Amino acid sequence: DAGVIQSPRHEVTEMGQEVTLRCKPISGHNSLFWYRQTMMRGLELLIYFNNNVPIDDSGMPEDRFSAKMPNASFSTLKIQPSEPRDSAVYFCASSLLRSNYGYTFGSGTRLTVV
Amino acid sequence: AQSVTQLDSQVPVFEEAPVELRCNYSSSVSVYLFWYVQYPNQGLQLLLKYLSGSTLVESINGFEAEFNKSQTSFHLRKPSVHISDTAEYFCAVSDTGSSYKLIFGSGTRLLVRP
């Protein structure tokens, strides 16, 4: 298995632009998580899906952030409009619910908003 | 709700010396505990986990952690560190019930010096 695949690896965009981050979870995993990592706040859970359904989005910072999971093999995190304070590394992770094997993380997308 | 405390933000140590990275958790229910490692510019990788059974768990690269329920701790130890162990280490907790959210600590940067 290729693991959790995120794209792009790096994204530089101007303030106000729309940004879309993509994630392909491990085949067979039924839970997907989006995390944001910054120096100031560490790892923050933004949203998680179970069987493609959003279960908890309480970590989504504000309405500018949205996430979708149209099928079991793809998820997106969109920021519109982007702001400099959104600059961070965004990680996607997947797991098999009730397996308790922990998460498998992708390599992350480093987002810089200028 | 669970929480994780990693009191040490950075631990410098000389090569071949022993190290302990501290982790304490807070939870009103039974928990699973994890240690993840993050190398520079990479995602998090599962290092070891405690689910049940023996309170001492080991990783393939010489790390071990011991679950201490009375102390609510899950400290990570290695008897002799290598330069290649330099990384950020995250302790995480999830409850054993219906929620499979992982709550992460703030991380400890292990810096191994020659």
pLDDT digits 0-9 by tens, A60-93: 988 999 999 999 999 999 999 999 999 999 999 9
- In the predicted model, what is the mean pLDDT of residues B83-111? 88
Please give the residue of chain A at the shortest CA–CA distance from B107. A42
pLDDT at B54 over 90: no
Span B5-35, pLDDT tens digits: 999 999 999 999 999 999 999 987 888 899 9
Q: How far is CA A42 from the centre of its chain?
A: 15
- The per-residue pLDDT for B17 is 97
Closest C-alpha among A88, A94, A98 to residue A106: A94
CA distance linking residue B32 with residue B16, whole number of Å: 30
Chain A: give the shortest CA distance to residue B83, in Å: 22
Residue B98, pLDDT > 80, answer no
Q: What is the mean pLDDT of residues B30-53?
A: 90
Would you place residue A101 in the very low, low, confident or very high pLDDT band (cuts 50, 70, 90)? low
What letter does residue A9 receive in the DSSP assignment?
S
> What is the rounded CA–CA span in Å between residue B75 and residue B85?
16
> What is the mean predicted confidence (pLDDT) over B71-92?
96
> Is pLDDT of B38 > 80?
yes
Specify the amino acid at residue A25: P
Is the predicted pLDDT of residue B71 greater than 60, yes or no?
yes
Which B residues in the span 19-78 are in contact with A, Cβ-Cβ below 8 Å?
A: 32, 34, 36, 42-46, 49, 51
Taking the CA of residue B58 and the nearest CA in chain A, the distance in Å comes to 15
- Reference B24, options B86, B79, B92, B82; nearest CA is B92
CA distance linking residue B20 with residue A54, whole number of Å: 38
Is the pLDDT at A104 greater than 80? The verdict is yes
Confidence check: pLDDT of A37 > 70: yes
pLDDT reported for residue A72: 94
Q: Distance of alpha carbon A83 from its chain centroid, rounded? A: 17
Please tell me which residue of chain B has the smallest CA distance to A106.
Answer: B43
DSSP helix/strand/coil, A35: strand
